[in-house]
Amino acid sequence: MANEVGGMRLSDVSAQPQSIPEIRLTVVKWRDGDDHRRWPAEDVIATTLPAIICRETPVSPIRQQNRVAPHALLLIDGCCHDDVLENLWLRRRTSSLYDLLRAEQPCLLVAPDMSLYAEMPSCHKLYQIKRTFVMYQQFQYHGLNAVPFLAPATAAHAECLAAWLRANEHVTHVAASFQTLHIDPMLWCRHLRLLEQIKEGVPRQLVWILIGQSDDSWGTLAKRFGSVGFIVVGPKFDSMRHQPEMSLRLPL
């Protein structure tokens, strides 16, 4: 595993400068990329990575399909199921993948996070975190305004991520998700504490992109993190499980 990602140290991954427009706190909802009706004339629109890359045949960009206003900012959330994530990893060096994404002209793209599970051995969790950052680096390398995804499983992971952010001062925006934690309040609070550990370990102000479901906790989160650029509200994760299995339709 370590050889595949060039070792387990995050210090091997370097960030390029981000160029993300300055926007006040904005709450946006996911839009179904396959919905051909006109999307509302909103200033900021969010869609998911699978809505763009998991299509049977090449089609026009999401902006054209849904007649998105030219001035609108498009945010792409990297939330994916494991089958899509693994296909994405296999095709991370495929130029057609990045051609599809650049055609959307997103203002930012939240890098996909490789899933972490409690039963995973510690070394496998580190491997997943490193793969997440390798994907982030690939998106940046191919000219996309990528945002690193922070998903610490332990306090040691949180310190490692904070150290990486201290070393990479170009990073101004980061993302985190509460999408799958609504079923367990204890896990939700633990995840919050680990993210706050990262925030406290970085001496500069970061802009946070928070992803999850619509509930009363968003106001609390916005206050706790101080500077929140976007809150991306998605459907309940359980309902997403009933969607047909998704996979990339790109050549290796």
Q: In this structure, are residues 218 and 27 in contact, taking their beta carbons and an 8 Å threshold? A: yes
> Quick one: pLDDT at residue 195?
93
| Residue length of the chain | 252
Q: Which residues contact 235 (CB under 8 A, 6 or more apart)?
A: 30, 213
Per residue in 235-249, pLDDT (tens digit) is 443 333 333 333 333
pLDDT over threshold 90, residue 140: yes
Count CA within 13 A, CB hemisphere, residue 146. Answer: 27
Indicate the burial class of 118 (C-beta count within 10 angstroms; 0-12, 13-18, 19 or more): exposed
Query: CB of 235 within 8 A of CB of 248?
Result: no
Q: How far apart are alpha carbons 212 and 37 in whole angstroms?
A: 24
Average pLDDT over residues 53-76: 68
Q: Which two tokens stand for residue 46?
A: 């969010």
**Tens digit of pLDDT for each residue in 20-53?**
877 665 666 655 544 544 555 567 777 778 777 7
Is-contact 174 196, C-beta < 8 A? no
Beta strand spans in the chain (E)? 26-29, 44-48, 73-77, 108-110, 146-147, 173-177, 207-212, 228-233
What's the pTM value of the predicted model, to 2 decimals? 0.81
pLDDT in tens, 158-172: 999 999 999 999 999
pLDDT: which is higher, 213 or 111: 111
For the chain, the average pLDDT equals: 75
Mean pLDDT of 190-196: 91
Fold observed for domain 22-240 = TIM Barrel (3.20.20)
